Amino acid sequence: MRDPLFGIPLDDQPRTLADFPGRAWLVVNTASRCGFTPQYEGLQMLWQRYRERGLVVLGFPCDQFGHQEPGNELEIAEFCQLRYGVDFPLFQKVEVNGPRAHPLFVELKKRAPGLLGSQRVKWNFTKFLIGREGRVVRRFAPATGPRELCGEIEALLE
């Protein structure tokens, strides 16, 4: 039986993880006015390097941390494309904590709690690496740069 994680709508289309077939997914909450915003470049590098081997990078803009993502979807996509050449899938703006948290992030936080078992995302650019069967392989802190994920992605894609 397929993991229920694959049935969670990602946006109002509705698209699910199943619509992005791969062997691994990297889900990231993003923001364009954050100290970690240059990580878009590294996320794009991961997408370019590994997409043919089965990695799908999925970006979810979020304005919950210091209002660092004030734009609408069009402005966000334009900024990411022009500034960092981003062409991996970006979704509508979401909340990742609280009563209006996106269901995908609710589930990811349960499966991969943060430090000391925290169910909260602490800041922008928290990353969740998900394997083919829906197992959350690892949660990465915002300060962990995308290039630091290469070893775990390589192992997952073998």
Q: How far is it, in rounded angstroms, from Cα 49 to Cα 83? A: 19
Q: Is 34 an active-site residue?
A: yes
For residue 73, what are the contacts with CB-CB under 8 A and spacing of at least 6?
A: 61, 90, 92, 93
The candidate with the shortest Cα–Cα distance to 39, out of 155, 113, 124, is 124
For residue 6, what are the contacts with CB-CB under 8 A and spacing of at least 6?
A: 16, 17, 18, 134
Q: How far is it, in rounded angstroms, from Cα 144 to Cα 149? A: 8
The candidate with the shortest Cα–Cα distance to 84, out of 128, 31, 126, is 31
Q: How far is it, in rounded angstroms, from Cα 151 to Cα 157? A: 10
Catalytic residues: 34
